[in-house]
């Protein structure tokens, strides 16, 4: 099982003075995932500013605001299955940077509920491709550039005006270098390997909040929710949460139905499925379901106005 460790971060150098005063407003990858110099408060701020500039291929950001799911965690608590003497098996899908997943894990522990939690996301493992000491690009396994580092400042891979022009020039520069160094394993999809060529140095980076790796009962997998199911996930979990992924803005109804069926099949008998979407105003609208006989779902409770796809899920 994959853990959330960053295997090469200790080789990164932290920016001087990063633990003194306010952190930089545009942190680089190395400043965020480097040696543990920053105080916890500064590290949290560095991460938030960094993930705000990590842009996935579909245009979404990797960031997740702290404490965004606090009311949802509280609302789900009374409906959690009771498994005396055993840890609760919990899954959180599409976890982004893992902030909300880490908070949920710690919330359960604080409430006396031992748990073994798995988080999944489409992109967790990446490679920091450096060209000299001042330029670097963060790429996924398909070679997409997610973030740029230039002369001590982090930047999104695209933008408007002069910043967009500079980002475009850097993308072209790295594109040419990557083409020339294409035999390096990280540039062929093996982003969890370390490699060095004539022009480029590649170091693995796990795109998760650093606290994730500090919990022995918190684990991570990469997964595409539309790909073939992992056999070990079938009927394996007491609780599955899908926050800010099962909504009409992301998928058409037939795809939503396919994903919902997959997640429902991951539940144990009488397991709980939580589907939530956070509004632009920050309100969580969620429905808490129970898997009944025949894997049918029935509504246990709602938060806010409930899930926008509640009707779809109850007819599965």
Distance CA 95, CA 241 (A): 10
Task: Output the average pLDDT for the chain.
Answer: 90
In tens, the pLDDT along 75-86 reads 999 999 989 889
Q: Which of 214-218, 226-230, 240-244, 292-296 has the lowest mean pLDDT?
A: 292-296
Instruction: Please tell me the predicted confidence (pLDDT) of residue 34.
Output: 76
Distance CA 236, CA 91 (A): 9
Instruction: Please tell me the predicted confidence (pLDDT) of residue 236.
Output: 97
End-to-end CA distance of the chain: 31
- What's the whole-number mean pLDDT along residues 204-229? 94
In tens, the pLDDT along 43-55 reads 888 999 999 999 9
Q: Between residues 21 and 100, which one has the greater pLDDT?
A: 100
Q: Between residues 242 and 35, which one has the greater pLDDT?
A: 242
- pLDDT of 38 > 70? The answer is no
**Tokens 């680089």 appear where?**
28
- What's the whole-number mean pLDDT along residues 89-102? 96
Strand partners, 184: none
Instruction: Please tell me the predicted confidence (pLDDT) of residue 28.
Output: 95
Distance CA 249, CA 58 (A): 12
For 88, half-sphere exposure in the C-beta direction (CA atoms, 13 angstrom radius) is 24
In tens, the pLDDT along 174-195 reads 999 999 999 999 999 999 999 9
Q: Which of 10-24, 37-51, 52-66, 239-253 has the lowest mean pLDDT?
A: 10-24
In tens, the pLDDT along 107-166 reads 999 999 999 999 999 999 999 999 999 999 999 999 999 999 999 999 999 999 999 999
Q: What is the pTM of this model?
A: 0.89
Nearest residue to 113 (alpha-carbon basis) of 93, 138, 86, 148 = 86
* Residue 65 confidence class, pLDDT cut points 50, 70, 90: confident
Distance CA 276, CA 303 (A): 9
Distance CA 223, CA 183 (A): 25
Given the DSSP bridges, would you call strands 195-196 and 201-206 parallel, antiparallel or unpaired? antiparallel
- What's the whole-number mean pLDDT along residues 207-220? 92
Instruction: Describe the strand order of the beta sheet including 153-155 as a list of residue ranges.
Output: 153-155, 145-150, 135-139, 125-131, 201-206, 195-196
Q: Which fold has domain 70-123+209-314?
A: Rossmann fold (3.40.50)
Instruction: Please tell me the predicted confidence (pLDDT) of residue 5.
Output: 55
- pLDDT of 7 > 50? The answer is no
Given the DSSP bridges, would you call strands 267-278 and 237-243 parallel, antiparallel or unpaired? parallel
Stretch(es) of the chain classified as CATH 3.40.50.150: 70-123+209-314
* Residue 293 confidence class, pLDDT cut points 50, 70, 90: confident
- pLDDT of 16 > 80? The answer is no
Instruction: Please tell me the predicted confidence (pLDDT) of residue 39.
Output: 75
Instruction: Please tell me the predicted confidence (pLDDT) of residue 316.
Output: 66
CB 255 within 8 A of CB 226: yes
The 3 state secondary structure assigned to the chain is CCCCCCCCHHHCCCCCCCCCCCCCCCCCHHHHHCCCCCCHHHHHHHHHHHHCCCECCCCCECCCCCCCCHHHHHHHHHHCCCCCCCCEEEEEECCCCCHHHHHHHHHHHHCCCCEEEEEEECCCEEEEEEECCCEEEEECCCCCEEEEEECCEEECCCCCHHHHHHHHHHHHHHHHHHHHCCCCHHHHCCCCCCEECCCCEEEEEECCCHHHHHCCCEEEEECCCCCCCCHHHCCCEEEEEEECCCCCCCCCHHHHHHHHHHHHHCEEEEEEEEEEEECCCCCEEEEEEEECHHHCEEEEEEECCCCCCHHHHHCC
Instruction: Please tell me the predicted confidence (pLDDT) of residue 14.
Output: 40
Given the DSSP bridges, would you call strands 125-131 and 115-121 parallel, antiparallel or unpaired? unpaired
Instruction: Please tell me the predicted confidence (pLDDT) of residue 37.
Output: 56
Tell me what percent of the residues of the chain surpass a pLDDT of 70: 91
- pLDDT of 267 > 90? The answer is yes
- pLDDT of 233 > 90? The answer is yes
């Amino acid at each position: 099982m994959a853990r959330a460790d960053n295997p090469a971060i200790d080789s990164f150098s932290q920016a001087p003075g990063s633990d003194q005063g306010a952190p930089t407003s545009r942190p680089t990858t190395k400043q965020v995932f480097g040696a543990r110099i920053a105080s916890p408060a500064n590290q949290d701020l560095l991460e938030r500013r960094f993930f705000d500039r990590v842009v996935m291929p579909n245009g979404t950001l990797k960031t997740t605001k702290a404490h965004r799911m606090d009311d949802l965690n509280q609302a789900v608590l009374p409906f959690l299955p009771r498994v005396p003497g055993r840890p609760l098996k919990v899954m959180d899908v599409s976890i982004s940077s893992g902030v909300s997943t880490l908070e949920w894990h710690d919330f359960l522990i604080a409430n006396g509920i031992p748990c073994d939690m798995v988080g999944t996301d489409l992109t967790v493992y990446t490679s920091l491709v450096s060209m000299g000491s001042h330029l670097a690009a963060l790429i996924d396994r398909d070679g997409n550039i997610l973030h740029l580092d230039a002369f001590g400042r982090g930047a999104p891979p695209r933008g408007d005006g002069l910043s967009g022009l500079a980002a475009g020039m850097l993308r072209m520069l790295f594109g040419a270098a990557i083409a020339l160094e294409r035999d390096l394993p990280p540039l062929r999809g093996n982003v969890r390997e370390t490699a060095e060529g004539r022009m480029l140095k590649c170091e693995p980076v796990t795109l998760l909040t650093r606290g994730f790796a500090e919990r022995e009962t918190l684990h991570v997998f990469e997964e595409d929710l539309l790909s073939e199911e992992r056999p070990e996930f079938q009927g394996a979990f007491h609780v599955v949460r899908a926050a800010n992924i099962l909504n009409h803005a992301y998928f058409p109804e037939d795809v939503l139905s396919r994903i919902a069926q997959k997640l429902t099949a991951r539940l144990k008998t009488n397991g709980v499925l939580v589907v939530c979407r956070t509004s632009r105003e920050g309100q969580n609208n969620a429905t808490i379901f129970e898997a009944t006989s025949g894997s049918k779902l029935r509504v246990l409770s709602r938060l806010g106005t409930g899930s926008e796809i509640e009707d779809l899920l109850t007819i599965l």
